[in-house]
Chains A and B, each alone.
Chain A
Amino acid sequence: MADPTTTTTTSAPPAAPAPADTVTVTIDGKAHQFPKGTVLLEACNAVGADVPFFCYHPGLSSPAVCRQCLVDVKGQPKPVPSCYTPVADKMEVQTKSPRALDVRRQMLEFTLVNHPIDCPICDKAGECMLQKHYFDWDAKYARNDGIKVKKDKVVDVGPHIVLDQERCILCTRCIRVCDEVAKKHQLEMADRGDHEVLTTAPGHKLDNPYSLNTVDVCPVGALTSKDFRFSMRAWELTATQSICPGCATGCNIEIHHSRGKIHRLVPRVNPAVNKHWMCDEGRFTYKPVHAGRLAAPFVRGTPVEWDRALDEAGKLLRAALDAGPAKVGVVFNAQSTNEDLYALGRLAFDHLGLTKTYLAGVDQGWSDDILVSADKNPNRAGATAVGAGRLRTLLDLAKDLKAGALTTLLVVGTDGVLAKDAAPGALPLDRLETLVVIGTHRDAVAAAAKVALPLAAWAEADGTFTNKLGMVQRIRAAVPPAGDALAGWEILSHLARKLGATMDFTEARAVFNEAKQKLGFMKNAEWGRHMLPVQLRFASTRG
């Protein structure tokens, strides 16, 4: 099963709670210790009691509206909502007493009374909490064949989300996400009784930058993402853990993919980085992986085999270096992994002794104090550390090009090299005799290159990013590289060999291990264990 806490961090693990802060709770006949303040529901599920719930979410406040988590506590006349009750010393809890099971079934029956028979067309099917809890705990057929209440079914509540009011089980998780995480009140419950519906707050749309988290937390298929709906069934998806490359926060994510194509990104729990959430912009960072990719090595505009392209690149760079290394420049990129950056640093600084090195990256953007960083590059910290002060800016590159100080340029990662709104001629790459590009996309920079080598994108590579807090986090390859693309450190190893330097990495982990020894900021980083991608059909719920 996917382990949500396998990230690499440089912070020390929290100290174990002192015995004075724990209470003893008996759950289903066995006594356990828990820290004071633990929610009873978390306590029960931690010991495998498997109490179902809908409205509770560990990252949100707990209103106890769904009543699904009711358990029997000795001494209490009525069943107790375990999501609202903190553990108390000497509490005795029965999660499977006849009354607790009965109450659980009754709540499910109520929830299902007006639920539309939408499973075949509902996106959540396969990862739906209602399906799971019904099958686990109820499994009795319907007693009521009355007409179900009709509500609106395809409500456009925002730029990214569609609402189906009939499916909504009124748990209010989405309202709390907007209120507590995005700090904007955009969703509300309206009307009462069995006509109660979820709707947008008057005058508002669901357009906050964290709106797609409501789709994650929705236990059923009431809120669905416009981008994802009807595109792929949940059980066909495989989850690979990675890090969002959208900005320097480095939210922990899962890439959900099927047969080599990514379908969506969802957040992973990491209390130190992103808790349970991620922003909407980050969710769309998977789209460039499958669009406009440089899929084969190109030499002067013609696709060729790797050997031929590497030979040509080696020849051109060798000639340029022989003529004078002072005129050879290298562009690092803040979107690259630590491993790619380390390999490039080794080649450029240690082996070739180059001095004209620059750092490119996507331009700054908006930020907030919730999750979004202004720096839209996932690894500026890593690039800066590898550069150790030797990397200059793109403005310096433009100046050097205009002054004719460079004849040859090797660009590793083309994101942000040509700014989107730059004036023509702002970066005169045509002043170069030789431009060798290692890039992911068929953009203007790759088109201008004499030799363009295809680079694996972030979702296709194993490596690490360093976020703005200095945490080194592991990304994992989810899909195979597009076309003939290879990882950056691998391309650089081949290129190094052509240039007479010894650098022969055969796997990303080897690069990581060497970088860990040489680079201070990676001293405490962990590569993480080998994890097989998890097929979602084994997970059976998400939300």
Chain B
Amino acid sequence: MADTLAPLHPRRVVLGFQDTEDMIAPDLPTEPIPLNMGPSHPAMHGTVRMVLEVEGERISSADIQIGYLHRCFEKESEAATWTQVFPYTDRLNYISPMLNNVGYAMAVEKLLGVTDKIPERAQFIRVIVGEVSRISDHLTCLGASAMELGAFTVFLYALKAREWLFELLEEVCGARLTSTYLRIGGVSYDLPDGFDGKLRSILDRTRVVMQDIGKLLDRNRIFRDRMDGIGIITQADALAYGITGPVGRSTGLAYDVRKDHPYLVYDRFDFDVPVGSVGDNFDRYAVRVEEINQSMRILDQALTQIPAGPVMINDPRIALPAKTETYNSIEAMIAHFKIIMDGIRVPPGETYSYTEAGNGELGFFIVSDGTGRPWKCRVRPPCFPATAVLGKVLPGLFIADVVPTFGMINMIGGECDR
């Protein structure tokens, strides 16, 4: 019954005016009006300003203005040691902080030349917390976008599942969002006891939540009407703009860093990468839903395969000495001192390291001058080009379409503006 698109009731005359469909469009006087959406606007989450020019309800041009959440990540990184940059990376894509930590740690380890020496357990832990973060990122995106379309229940369901994941991450590293869990050379401490059981139970419950969300949205008339065919991004645009991740894959571009250039231990897992076909809002939604399922699949395998062992590289110039050593021997005191005050000595050079973050290819282009501090630490944000393409996608849409389109891009202000 719900599959039909025919109207359920005949339209009624409202307030004495004729229904607008009876009026011929050219008779309607229109003039372009500038309309400001944001930066303080409930739909412009992440703080972005869209200066739209509208004719009636149709957008004729859109100027997307970002930068309201710019917190000088790069400039601060140049004044911090390599390890001190980790808290800054947490606050990039702040819904999936672990993924940013992973991207940055791998970039520095690449310059150090120790990528192969990271202990296996640490690599598994990185994958596990990364995928947990990815699931929470996608849940937030789905929930918030659905809420903005009116599906408040979906929002609460999605955030209920996200709460379980955040509580689990809080047990791991002490914080829900500002995790700073990774270190160069491994992770700061091992997973807590009982983590395996807790995560498996959460995954089971999350699967139920995803089914509920699916039942509420997948064939929901309102949801489909507002998402199908709206905000189409072509594959050519995805290439020209460099859009990767769920948005890029929704256009049909089959590129996932975990599959195409496996890093950490991703090559040991069996998982699929969902790819869309139309590139509209609904494709982006569907790709994200399926990615959550695939992430859960990866997590199941990771929890089974994770070995025991150290979680930090065994290199006295990279890893801090144990506290008992530090307080009782001058050698360890000096090592501790130098690593923290000077920073880890990364040999001069520059490199670009990329991982699959929640929104796509998160790249870190780091330049080292041989001291313990970065010369440059550039973040290549995956949602930056996705937000840029909105300037091309929005014209021609209704004002109301801005809400789902912008929501499904999942522009995270912290990542786009840094």
Which of B328, B338, B371, B373 is the one whose CB lies under 8 Å from A135?
A: B338
Which residues of B from 336 to 353 have beta carbons under 8 Å from A? 337-338, 341-342
A120 to chain B, nearest CB (A): 8
**8 Å CB interface, A85-128 against B:** 112, 115-117, 119-120, 125-126
Choice from B316, B327, B334, B341 contacting A235 with Cβ under 8 Å: B341
Determine the distance from Cα of A145 to Cα of B328 in the docked complex, in whole angstroms.
8
Q: Mark A508-543, 1 if CB is under 8 A from B, else 0.
A: 000000000000000000000000000001101000
Structural contact, A117 and B330, CB atoms closer than 8 A: yes
**B332 in contact (CB, < 8 A):** yes
**Complex contact A141–B331 (CB within 8 A):** yes
Check B341 against A126 for contact (C-beta < 8 Å). Answer: yes
Interface size on A, as a range, is 20 to 34
Residue B413 is within 8 A (CB to CB) of chain A in the complex: no
User: Quick check: is A162 within 8 A (CB to CB) of the other chain?
Assistant: no
Q: How far is the CA of A115 from the CA of B334 in the complex (A)?
A: 11
B334 touches A130 (CB 8 A): yes
Residues from chain A with Cβ under 8 Å of B317 in the complex: 135, 139
Q: Which of B296-350 contact A (CB under 8 A)?
A: 316-317, 321, 325, 327-335, 337-338, 341-342
Q: B335 near A112 (CB under 8 angstroms)?
A: no
Min CB gap B316→A, angstroms: 5
- CB B82 to nearest CB in A, in angstroms, measures 13
Tell me the smallest distance from the CB of A221 to a CB of chain B, in Å.
12
**Residue from B317, B328, B332, B333 with most neighbouring chain A CB atoms (10 Å):** B333
User: Which A residues touch B341, using CB under 8 A?
Assistant: 125-126, 235, 537
Is A131 in contact with chain B by the CB < 8 A criterion?
yes
Q: Is B333 within 8 A of A537, CB to CB?
A: no
Is A142 an interface residue when CB atoms closer than 8 A count as contact? yes
B337 touches A131 (CB 8 A): yes
**Does A505 touch B at the CB level, under 8 Å?**
no
Q: A139-B317, A141-B321, A235-B341 are in contact. Are A116 and B330 (CB under 8 A)?
A: yes
Cα distance A117–B326 in the bound complex, in angstroms: 9
- Identify which of B316, B330, B337, B371 contacts A112 (C-beta below 8 A): B330
Instruction: Give complex CA distance A452, B371 in Å.
Output: 47
Task: Give the contacts of B363-388 with A (CB-CB under 8 A).
Answer: 371, 373
Question: Across the two chains, which residue of chain A brings its CB closest to B315?
Answer: A139
How far apart are the CA atoms of A142 and B324 in the complex, in Å? 12
- What separation, in Å, do the CA atoms of A131 and B332 have in the docked complex? 11
- CB-based contact B330/A139 at 8 Å: no
Determine the residue in chain A with the shortest Cβ distance to B339. A135
Given the known interface contacts A235-B341, A538-B371, A540-B342, the answer about A142 and B335 at a Cβ–Cβ threshold of 8 Å is: no
How many angstroms between the C-alpha atoms of A126 and B343 in the bound complex? Answer: 11
- In the complex, the answer to whether A141 meets B332 with C-beta atoms within 8 Å is yes
Which residues of B sit under 8 angstroms from A115, Cβ to Cβ?
Answer: 330
How far is the CB of A222 from the nearest CB of chain B, in Å?
14
> Please, which residues of chain A bring their CB within 8 A of the CB of B328?
117, 145
**What does the 1/0 interface line of B111-125 toward A look like (CB < 8 Å)?**
000000000000000
Interface string of A173-207 (1 = CB under 8 A from B): 00000000000000000000000000000000000
Residues from chain B with a CB closer than 8 A to the CB of A120 are 333, 337
Q: Are A138 and B371 in contact (CB under 8 A)?
A: no
| Shortest Cβ distance from A113 into B: residue | B330
CB-CB under 8 A for A141 and B325, given A125-B341, A126-B341: yes
Expressed in whole angstroms, the minimum distance between the Cβ of A8 and any Cβ of chain B is 29
Within the complex, the shortest CB–CB distance from B90 to chain A, in Å, comes to 24
Within 8 A of A (CB), among B242-299: none
Q: Which of A126, A142, A235 is within 8 Å of B330, CB to CB?
A: A142
B327: which A residues are within 8 A, CB to CB?
A: 117
- A116's closest neighbor in chain B, by CB? B330
CB within 8 A of A131: which of B321, B334, B371? Answer: B334
In the complex, what residues of B have CB within 8 A of residue A141's CB?
A: 316, 321, 325, 329, 331-332, 335
For the complex, is A287 an interface residue (Cβ under 8 Å from B)?
Answer: no
**In the complex, chain A residues whose CB is within 8 Å of the CB of B337:** 119-120, 125, 131
The interface residues of chain B lying within 8 Å CB-to-CB of A126 are 341
Q: Kindly identify which residue among A131, A140, A537 contacts B316, using a CB–CB cutoff of 8 Å.
A: A140
A119 touches B333 (CB 8 A): yes
Task: Please measure, in the bound complex, the distance between the C-alpha atom of A50 and the C-alpha atom of B368, giving whole angstroms.
Answer: 20
Closest partner residue, chain A, to B342 (CB atom): A540
- Do the beta carbons of B330 and A537 come within 8 Å of each other? no
Closest to B317 in A: A139
CA distance A105 to B325 in the complex (A): 19
Q: How far is the CA of A275 from the CA of B342 in the complex (A)?
A: 29
Our pick among A116, A132, A142, A540 for the contact of B331 (Cβ within 8 Å) is A142
Minimum CB distance partner of B329 in chain A: A142
Q: What B residues does A537 contact at CB under 8 A?
A: 341-342
CA distance A537 to B81 in the complex (A): 11
Q: Knowing A135-B317, A139-B317, say if A112 contacts B331 (CB, 8 Å).
A: yes
Tell me the complex Cα distance, A145–B329, Å. 8
Q: How far is the CA of A537 from the CA of B78 in the complex (A)?
A: 13
The residues of A that contact B371 with a CB separation of less than 8 Å are 538, 540
Complex Cα distance, B334 from A142, in Å, reads 11
Of the candidates B329, B332, B334, B341, the one having the most CB atoms from chain A within 10 angstroms of its own CB is: B334
Q: How far is the CA of A142 from the CA of B329 in the complex (A)?
A: 6
Q: How far in angstroms is the closest Cβ of chain B from A433?
A: 54
The answer to whether B334 and A135 have CB atoms under 8 Å apart is yes
Inside 8 A of A538's CB, which chain B residues have their CB? 371, 373
Report chain A residues within 8 Å CB of B373. Answer: 538
Q: A306 in the interface, Cβ–Cβ < 8 Å?
A: no
Distance from B324 Cβ to chain A, minimum over Cβ atoms (Å): 11
Instruction: List chain B residues, Cβ under 8 A from A140.
Output: 316, 331
| Interface check A134, CB cutoff 8 A | yes
A116 to B: closest C-beta gap in Å: 7
CA gap between A120 and B334 in the complex, in Å: 10
The CA-CA distance from A266 to B335 in the complex, in Å, is: 27
Residues from chain B with Cβ under 8 Å of A119 in the complex = 330, 333-334, 337
> Could you say which residues of chain B place their CB within 8 Å of the CB of A134?
331, 334-335
Q: How far is the CA of A235 from the CA of B325 in the complex (A)?
A: 24
- Smallest Cβ distance from B411 to chain A, in angstroms? 36
Name the CB-closest residue of B to A133: B334
B329–A117 touching, CB < 8 Å: yes
Residues 90-106 of B, flagged 1 when their CB comes within 8 A of A and 0 if not, give 00000000000000000
| Nearest residue, chain B, Cβ from A126 | B341
Give chain B residues whose Cβ lies under 8 Å from the Cβ of A130. Answer: 334
Closest A residue to B370 by beta carbon equals: A538
B327 nearest in chain A by CB position: A117
Q: How far is the CA of A235 from the CA of B341 in the complex (A)?
A: 8
The 3 closest A-B pairs by CB, nearest first: A142-B329, A135-B338, A139-B316
Given contacts A119-B337, A142-B329, A537-B342, 8 further A-B contacts (CB under 8 A): A125-B337, A131-B337, A135-B334, A138-B331, A142-B332, A235-B341, A538-B371, A540-B371
User: Residues of A with Cβ closer than 8 Å to B?
Assistant: 112, 115-117, 119-120, 125-126, 130-132, 134-135, 138-142, 145, 235, 537-538, 540
* Chain B interfacial positions (CB closer than 8 Å to A): 316-317, 321, 325, 327-335, 337-338, 341-342, 371, 373
Q: Can you sample 13 A-B contacts with CB below 8 Å?
A: A116-B330, A117-B330, A125-B341, A126-B341, A134-B335, A135-B334, A135-B335, A141-B321, A141-B329, A141-B332, A142-B332, A235-B341, A538-B373
